[in-house]
Chains A and B, each alone.
Chain A
Amino acid sequence: MVLACSSAVALVASLALAPVGEAPLEPNPDPTQKPKPAASDDDDEITRDVQVRVGRPEPSERDRASTVVGREELDERLPRSTPDALRGEPGVYIQQTSHGQASPYLRGLTGQQTVMFFDGVRLNNSTFRQGPNQYFFTIDSRSVQRLEVLRGSASTRWGSDAIGGALLATPIEPDFEDRRGVVVHPKAILRAASADAELGGRGQTSVSVNGKLGVIVGAGYRKLDLLRSGGRVQQPGTGTPQTVPPIFGPDDHTQLGTGFRELTDDARIVWRPNRKHRVTFGYYDYRQFDAPRTDKCPPQTAPQDECLTYLRQFRTLVYGAYEHSEGPAAAEHVRLTLSYQKQHETRREHRGSPSVTELTGEDDVHAGGTGLHAETKEFVLAPWATLGVRYGADLYVDRLASDETLTFTDVDISVERPRGQYLDGAHYVTSGAWSEVHTELADAIRLRAGGRFAVVAAQADEEPMTESKAVDEQWVTGVATAGVAADAVEWLTFVFNVDQGFRAPNLDDLTSRQQVGPGYQYENADLDPEHSLSLETGMIARHPWFELEAFGFRTTIRDLIQRTSRDLSECPDGDVNCMASRNRFQLVNLDGIARIYGAEGGLRIFFPLGFRLRGTVSYAWGDGVNPRRDLPMQPDRVALSRIPPLNGIGEAGWRSRKWGVYVSGVVRWARAQTRLAPQDRVDARIPEGGTPGYVVFDMRAGYQLDRRVLAAIVFENVGDTAYKHHGSSTNGPGRGILAELQFGF
């Protein structure tokens, strides 16, 4: 056994020392950093059934609370979406407002308080709304090689919005085959699921030309029908079944207001003329059609055929990146990106019978961006000390188009509304420059410190008919980060990190008017940025036999932007929608400090012969100053909205790399969340008294024959349990089969 361990360590070491360009490059989520050689999927015979940890993807920042989901796990989990792939990861909780939308919570925060990147390009734009949003869903999980979750504030490196953490998606790379001419690897993926009658697939082709030019193109389509659940959940407050949402069909299991269609296409061209230079062109297009918003199909008290549908939810990303390695000491590795992203939404609210009214809203966000990321060489200060610096700058500019039309379908007459969901023609700029110094002492102590200087600006013209104020704001802010990590032994590290985060108000905060889950929300043009301070301490163990990470954290947020209830008299003049709504909200900066405490951890144990165990657990608790504390009977502090319950997973499995077979069982669980914010209590998505806990069991199995065939199957929710993720409109899928077949050469 000792020999086996030594072999594995030696293999890791040898891979780590392999020259760049000879080992396959693992996609790097932080392109600033030097490309790291990855563990090969086809490990040698010795390690196949003994040391499966060798193939585990490594996080981009070794001394932070983070996890990585690699392609192998994606293929094994068969997620319905990219957010779905992160279920059960420590500190992550997935909320779904509809079948076609999902939003990861990181340490109790989501949406605009987390930041998303795709291959180093910022996906967050100025319309990311308060609370959950659907935009991480618009990354095609089949085009992703790895997903990394960085938990805790991280604005120094990732800019505005990185308060709860960062989500980093890395696309699949084309194959490069050195010393061969033109090599083509086509691949087809077929997929089906029973709970939502999903049928779809993807075709992709990777081409390598002389090992220097790699091209991968792909296109996918899938159609999902109504999602069958395990039934209604019991409301903790009453002990009775929750009625809405969702609306159930006659079988009391099938959820109406679900289903959608999805079309994706992508192309990636990578040119590596030599080991120093790399040029990448990426095109990623996501098109979702006819996705009903479950909690608005129908709204709680409306006719049963009323529905708000996202007719079109498109995101198109085009970018180019140039990377230079082995440069001068001050910029040994440099990556420069130039990107354009368009996000398009068309929403249609079809009023219920006998109404003949339809309200259609269209929003387009055009975002141009550029980013420069560089890293110095590792300077040797002394035999026992090295020092390096990472630095960079980024700039993203958004332009927004927004309109809304009322149509009377019986006479086919349309009326343009005075304003759309956002103020049309608004602009938004987010930018910054950052630097981070890191040093390693005696090969055991690592220190890092850095900061970002950020400038954010928002501009929008007023709309007098609806008394929508003009916006002309600029914010300049600075954030810092610091951390220390100490290796107790080779495989065990203790870390302590202090990170600041910030989020400048975006155009959604400053200009939007919309019906949100708990009621009608109108803008606040006078918001200030929110700032966070994240303290975390924990341990990271990466032993050949196990991986362990355990963290405790405390995040405090100053000037937290939250919804607060508003009286009718506070509605903007001329905003009849506000005045007519039962519940009215406005975003405000909370006084005082909001705080989130929590702990999370994950343990993987690798047994001989390919057996493995895995468990994760996550807990968060948050509260903030009650914006209505001056009113009678109101407490000084209230719970933050939709903080996830205590939750986790347990997994036991076996994988034989020799035979290409795997099988595993997974238990997903969550305690009830009965600690609700005031707005949660009027949110129809949350059952009365909170969201009940659940225990759900899944089984997974599959077979892989080299790169030619992969057959994977998930038997989900074996017990057909009725369950709901806190804050979600849809209940979790009922008992069913997910199956995927990949074949290629």
Chain B
Amino acid sequence: MDSINRKGLVWLAVGALASTACGDDSGGDDAADDGGTADGGTADDPTGGDCMPSEVDIAPLDTSTCMPAATDYTPTINGSADDMWPACANDDGVYHPLDQPGAAARTEAFAMIRSILAADLSPAGFTMAREQYALDQGIESRTVRREDVRYPEIPEADHDPAVDADKQCTVEANVMKYPDRCAGPAKIAPIINDAFMAAQMGEGDPAVHAARIDAAIAWFMYLSVIKESTFSCPLADLGGDCDSGWGYYNGANARGAGIGFAADVIGVSPAADDRIIDGLSAMRCWRDSYPADMDADTSDPLYVAGRDQLDQANNHGAAIVLRDRMEQQLALCGSEADANWAWVQTFGQGLIKPAQDTDAGHASTLVALLGNDAPMPADIEGGIAALDALFPCP
């Protein structure tokens, strides 16, 4: 089952995107052909420098020894009866939102972008995809202000007094000075803009551009899960943002039926999807124990437990998706390889902070790999091993 899902996901999100550049030279897409040549080969030219020997065998990640923590919320195990969490609407295993989150529309737009670019890598296709990205209140509107809340907050001394404390990444000077914290405007949005611009102008390899766009949006979604659920949700007027975390993760869909980032996770491991939903459900349960119009207590042990559970599951989900891409890289050539590696290099940046927080040594291995434009199979094997060590369990 895993294998089928994995293939489906891979070829929907990357293989299909790359097919134009790799094999379709009848469409008059000069840019694609040019880009492919410039990058060292296409599927028709398997001798491109990006090809990896395929005999390397990567063992699947073994999660058989993983067990829920004592503080985890486990609605899918005996209806949460055995865990420390009080009774909650989500005990039936279904996520019950306070309100249907608007974030789901952004995830749907992400799915639409994937669908458009899977079918059309021409400049016109990118324009259509960018329209989805730039919708009013759409992905772009949030990307340009998204914070990576795992990095330290901007020091008060650098706050713009005219701007709320939790919106300091809307200030350009802070974006420049604190690019890690202000990941959305400093890192993610520029990647997406550059890729769209090049693709719309017909420059470079469109499959690579598509991969970068896809990976950057997935990175944004991954960051948004934890940001909305643990950073915004406790606030009085933003209690519904717990649901936004759910919306960003899977488009506010049921377990196993998610789109966007969740589809990537499900494609590799439905169990990991379950664990992320559990974490999201935990945050909702914690928030429901406070009135919606009051700030919730973030020193509450349940908040800490839910946050840690969701953070671990979310990181693991991202890690296994990244691992899967790394593994695929070993079998890809030409433009497909370029696109896939661009995806890895882009999305992987989101995992650097939790990696560094977990183990500096493995983190440096991961960082080195992500900075390597032409990795050897051994490099990738090393990267996968580091990921497995860093994020072993959901």
**Cβ-based interface call for B392 (8 A):** no
Residues 548-576 of A, flagged 1 when their CB comes within 8 A of B and 0 if not, give: 00000000000000000001110000001
Contact B172 A305 (CB under 8 A): yes
Contact A355 B134 (CB under 8 A): yes
Contact A248 B162 (CB under 8 A): yes
**Cβ-based interface call for B170 (8 A):** yes
Residues 574-586 of A, flagged 1 when their CB comes within 8 A of B and 0 if not, give: 0011011110100
Residues 109-153 of B, flagged 1 when their CB comes within 8 A of A and 0 if not, give: 100000000000000000100111011111011001100000000
C-alpha spacing A359/B138, complex, angstroms: 13
**Cβ-based interface call for B104 (8 A):** yes
Shortest beta-carbon distance from B175 to chain A in Å: 8
Residues of B within 8 A of A415 (CB): 127, 131
Closest to A247 in B: B162
Instruction: Out of B109, B164, B189, name the residue touching A244 (CB < 8 Å).
Output: B164
**Cβ-based interface call for A351 (8 A):** yes
**Cβ-based interface call for A243 (8 A):** yes
Residues of A within 8 A of B289 (CB): none
Instruction: Out of B134, B160, B164, B190, name the residue touching A357 (CB < 8 Å).
Output: B134
**Cβ-based interface call for B201 (8 A):** yes
Shortest beta-carbon distance from B183 to chain A in Å: 12
**Cβ-based interface call for A406 (8 A):** yes
C-alpha spacing A27/B320, complex, angstroms: 79
Contact A247 B102 (CB under 8 A): no
Binds A, one of B49-57, B192-200, B342-350, B364-372: B192-200
Q: Report which residue of A303, A581, A584 has the largest number of chain B beta carbons within 10 angstroms of its beta carbon.
A: A303
Residues of B within 8 A of A243 (CB): 162-164
> Given that A243-B162, A413-B127 are known contacts, is A355 also in contact with B136, CB under 8 Å in the complex?
no
Residues of B within 8 A of A687 (CB): none
**Cβ-based interface call for A515 (8 A):** yes
Shortest beta-carbon distance from B272 to chain A in Å: 27
Instruction: Out of B127, B130, B144, B197, name the residue touching A303 (CB < 8 Å).
Output: B144
Contact A352 B196 (CB under 8 A): no
Contact A567 B99 (CB under 8 A): yes
Contact A304 B170 (CB under 8 A): yes
Shortest beta-carbon distance from A490 to chain B in Å: 58
**Cβ-based interface call for A396 (8 A):** no
| Interface residue count on the A side (C-beta < 8 Å) | 42
Contact B170 A568 (CB under 8 A): no
Residues of A within 8 A of B106 (CB): 580
> Given that A243-B162, A568-B102 are known contacts, is A410 also in contact with B137, CB under 8 Å in the complex?
no
Instruction: Out of A520, A568, A577, name the residue touching B100 (CB < 8 Å).
Output: A568
C-alpha spacing A243/B170, complex, angstroms: 14
> Given that A304-B171, A576-B135 are known contacts, is A353 also in contact with B185, CB under 8 Å in the complex?
yes
**Cβ-based interface call for B105 (8 A):** yes
**Cβ-based interface call for A411 (8 A):** yes
C-alpha spacing A682/B238, complex, angstroms: 11
Contact A520 B172 (CB under 8 A): no
Closest to B197 in A: A410
Shortest beta-carbon distance from A354 to chain B in Å: 5
C-alpha spacing A582/B190, complex, angstroms: 25
**Cβ-based interface call for A302 (8 A):** yes
> Given that A352-B170, A354-B185, A568-B104 are known contacts, is A408 also in contact with B134, CB under 8 Å in the complex?
yes
Instruction: Out of A244, A411, A569, name the residue touching B201 (CB < 8 Å).
Output: A411
Residues of B within 8 A of A567 (CB): 99-100
Residues of B within 8 A of A354 (CB): 144, 185, 189-190, 193
**Cβ-based interface call for A252 (8 A):** yes
Residues of A within 8 A of B172 (CB): 303-305, 353
Contact B134 A303 (CB under 8 A): no
Instruction: Out of B102, B138, B163, B237, name the residue touching A304 (CB < 8 Å).
Output: B163
Shortest beta-carbon distance from A138 to chain B in Å: 26
The 4 A-B pairs with the shortest beta carbon distances in the complex, nearest first, are A579-B105, A568-B100, A580-B137, A580-B105
Known: A576-B105, A576-B138. 9 other contacts (CB 8 A): A300-B167, A303-B144, A305-B172, A351-B144, A355-B144, A356-B193, A567-B100, A576-B135, A682-B237
* Pairs A–B under 8 Å by Cβ, sample size 22: A243-B162, A252-B161, A301-B145, A303-B144, A304-B160, A352-B145, A354-B189, A354-B190, A355-B134, A356-B197, A411-B197, A413-B200, A567-B99, A576-B138, A577-B135, A577-B137, A579-B102, A580-B103, A580-B106, A580-B137, A580-B141, A682-B237
